[in-house]
Homo-oligomer: A and B are copies of this chain.
Amino acid sequence: MSDTVCPLCFPVDESLLWSDTFCRVIWVDDANYPGFCRVVLNAHIKEITDLPPAERQRLMNVVFAVEMAVREAVKPDKINLASLGNVVPHLHWHVIPRWEDDVNFPDAIWAAPRRAAMQRPLLADIKPLLQARIQALLPIQE
C-alpha cells in the first residue's frame, strides 16, 4: 500500500465527467461494464471515516447522483457500489452497472469470469449521455 506516487493524486490518463473542488467523477473505459464510473476525492485520504461527517455526506451525495445517472443512462439490472482502496489507498468509489448476463454476474466484478463477454452498448454512445445526466444532477454551486 505504498502511496509515494499516488495515481489518484497524480492522474496520467483520466477521462473526467464532472468535478468540483472536493471530488471528481471519472469514466472507466470497460467494454464489459459500459457506464462504469469512479468518484474520486481530490484529497489524499484513506478511509471515508477519516473525513468529518459533512464531507462524508457530500461525497456520498455525488456517489448517489452518479448511481442515478448510470441507472438512467444504461438501465442495468443492478448497481454495485464499492470503496476498497487496497491497491490505491486514496478514497474513491466504484459505481458499477451490472447485468444478469455480464461476465461475472452474480459474482463481484473482481471474481473470476463466469462466461464470455456479451455484446454491450457502445461506450462512445453512452459517455456523452452519462456526462449530461451527471451534470444535470450535480450543478456546480461553488
Q: A interface vs B, CB < 8 Å?
A: 1, 46-49, 53, 56-57, 60-61, 64, 67-68, 71, 77-87, 89, 98, 100, 105-108, 110-112
Q: How many copies does the complex hold?
A: 2
Identify 5 new A-B residue pairs, CB closer than 8 A, beyond the known A1-B78, A86-B105.
A49-B67, A53-B64, A57-B60, A108-B108, A110-B110
Count chain B CB atoms within 10 A of each CB in A60, A83, A86, A106 and give the residue with the most. A86
Inter-subunit contact A56/B46 (CB<8 Å): no
Separation of A87 and B98 alpha carbons in the complex (Å)? 12
Q: Which B residues are in CB contact (< 8 Å) with A71?
A: 47, 49
Nearest CB of B to A45, in Å: 12
